[in-house]
């Protein structure tokens, strides 16, 4: 059934265009990242070669990344906890 607001072709063209944009953006972002750091940018601990190979363009050691992730989760978790509390009350 035709929705009337867009042809099927137009929709898939839009999707393809946005995927192309995304790929171009990822490529553009990846190029300057390229090099992996041999030492953590935050604590200057050496980053194991296995990690540098597994994470292209890695800048932080595992400790600093998990610390940063924890901070991000904390920030994101405040709202989640608040809405859970309000459900319980």
Cβ closest to Zn ion, residue 66 vs residue 83: 66
3-state SS of 40-80 is CCCCCCECCHHHHHHCCCCCCCHHHHHHHHHHHHHHHHHHH
Q: Does 26 bind Zn ion (CB under 5 A)?
A: no
* Number of other residues whose CB lies within 10 A of the CB of residue 47: 21
**Please, which residue, 39 or 80, has the CB nearer to Zn ion?**
39
Selected binder of Zn ion within 37, 42, 59, 67 (CB under 5 A):
42
Contact pattern from residue 43 through residue 62 relative to Zn ion, giving x for each residue in contact according to CB under 5 A and a dash for the rest: x-x---------------x-
């Amino acid at each position: 059934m035709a929705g009337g607001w867009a042809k099927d072709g137009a929709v898939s063209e839009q999707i393809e265009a946005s995927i192309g944009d995304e790929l171009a953006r990822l490529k553009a972002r990846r190029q300057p990242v390229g090099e992996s750091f041999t030492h953590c940018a935050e604590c200057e601990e050496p980053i194991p070669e296995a990690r540098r190979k597994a994470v292209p363009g890695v800048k932080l050691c595992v400790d600093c990344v998990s610390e940063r992730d924890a901070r991000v989760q904390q920030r994101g978790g405040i709202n989640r906890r608040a809405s859970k509390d309000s459900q319980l009350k």
